[in-house]
Structure 1
């Protein structure tokens, strides 16, 4: 099955992510509903979702990139709930949200829910893959063709020692 994942499709399906679904942010919904013919209006709506100053233009180069303001606010609110009461009973309230989020995302990308790992950002995901997994000869890691290659080729990376990298 050939998947075509674009920035627009990610935004249009952003409700698959539990945090965005819970955020209920009208501006994010406006972005998801914007049409390609809207041109600059679409990108203005996207830009307004971030809190960095108008004079800034973040360029992501496998570093951390800014988060949508609504997502950051929701993460902060949920973190406060856990910080207030770190008990297992309190944290259990998030189990269904996590399960539902994995199911929605896995359906969107054509994977099984147990094959989906939810992490804070791409940098963390790259780090887990390149440094946290014990690869053996014959293992295969598929990365997006536009992914910055340094985490894969970095000297000492576990991928340099037996993992086969393919681009999807």
Structure 2
């Protein structure tokens, strides 16, 4: 399996900054055919097990090298380049058109663009869950505070069908938006996105999805799923750099969403000399929502991360993530010491598993695991007081065996 590092952005190449010779000499990385070999592509420390990918996904060497090369290129030439190629790569990664992708810095930025851009009025209802990350909760809470929209939180069920039933029960004639997570940050529960889209169509609602944990975990085709808006980050399961993300929106909804923060590349023309001065219109694509200078090196790193996934195979990665999750689920079940909060239903799980003890505090468990060189995340959100384990392709069953051995002493 071979991965070819993408060359610098096309705009810089077109400007003659990179020679054809430098393009031809682009490095290749032999990924290897086993997960152990792929693990060697990550600079992670061998002295501890990193089990917190749900917060931050460490990048493989090829991503770090791409960023370093791009930084050097921009700073030696003075040409900061463009993000056209990165946008195309990220769009392809989720099955979208480049025109449907706005480049953001993180999931929360995308959520704010959607939250404030939708034409909502006082009394309109937005359905969210009781397991929201602060990045999806605060924007909607803020708009409710300032504009009088009504939030209706729902509790996820133990199965996909129960979750859909709980969502449908919350829908009323005043409902306008389903602003839900694709995968919860608390327990890693995978919401049935296709079913949510079906509910939205049935009741004529907008779907605005917090997709922070989707891309890089699941092999996604967003247009095929039919979601309206999907906000994500590249620094979690995609294994890209911090400070990169994207917002997908259906092409036919680009004009439905109002752009409030604009700048270079947001417009379709403007004139300060006309009387009165005027903005002639907006960029006809989702590019209107990302404006002014972007970091070419960082977005090239995000594109390299997407290529890394494609080189291995998105379906293969999803299968491996689910395999490790199932292995840990079975191991924790056999210990009979903990309450597993993540659903038993396999379709409602992916790469995250949360649990708690009824006799030992979650922070004490966290300290114990830290002492044994396991990096995990504690979950005080939603009153869970739990421990969260999230695994990716760089993790091994041997690491999970070591984790279970320590947990057996709790």
With normalisation by structure 1, the TM-score equals: 0.52
Superposition deviation, residue 164 in structure 1: 3.2
Match of 2:29 in 1: 26
1:31-50 equivalences under 5 Å are: 34=33, 42-50=34-42
1:95-114 equivalences in 2 (<5 Å): 95=82, 98-114=83-99
TM superposition shift of 1:109: 2.2
Secondary structure of the structure 2 residue equivalent to 1:63? coil
Cα 1:63–1:82 change in 2 (3 A) is same
Compute the displacement of 1:85 (Å).
4.3
Structure 1 111/45 Cα, relative in aligned 2: closer, same or farther at 3 Å? same
Q: Partner of 1:65: helix, strand, or coil?
A: coil
Q: Determine whether 1:52 maps to 2:52.
A: no
State the Cα distance separating 1:149 from its structure 2 match.
4.0
The answer to whether structure 1 residue 150 and structure 2 residue 142 are counterparts is no
Render the CA deviation track for 1:113-135: whole Å, top value 9, x for unaligned: 0222456xxxx421322345524
CA distance in 1, matches of 2:136, 2:86: 31
Q: Counterpart of 2:61?
A: 69
1:126-137 mapped onto 2 (5 Å cutoff):
126-131=107-112, 134-136=116-118, 137=120
Contiguous gaps of at least 5 residues in structure 1: 1-11, 35-41, 139-147
Let me know the Cα RMSD of the aligned residues: 3.5
Q: Which has the higher contact order (CA 8 A, sep 6+)?
A: 2
For structure 2, the residue ranges without an aligned partner over 5 or more in a row are 8-25, 122-130, 144-148, 150-176, 183-192, 194-410
Asked if the contact 1:58–1:65 (Cα under 8 Å) also holds between the matched residues in 2, the reply is no
Deviation at 1:165, TM superposition (A): 1.9
Aligned counterpart, 1:165:
179
SS in structure 2 at match of 1:111: coil
Distance 1:24 1:151 in 2: 40
Larger Rg: 2
Q: 1:159 to 1:24 in 2, by over 3 A?
A: farther
Q: Quick one: distance in 2 between partners of 1:149 and 1:45? A: 36
SS in 2 for 1:26: strand
2:74 is aligned with 1:82: yes
TM-score where L is the length of structure 2: 0.25
2:30 aligns to what SS in structure 1?
Answer: helix
Q: Given that residues 111 and 139 in structure 2 are in contact (C-alpha distance below 8 angstroms), is that contact kept between their aligned partners in structure 1?
A: yes
- Conservation of the 8 A alpha-carbon contact between 2:42 and 2:58: yes
Aligned residues: 120
Decide which structure has greater helix share: 1
Q: Report the CA distance shift for 1:61/1:158 in structure 2 as closer, same or farther (over 3 A).
A: farther
Partner in structure 2 of residue 143 of structure 1: none
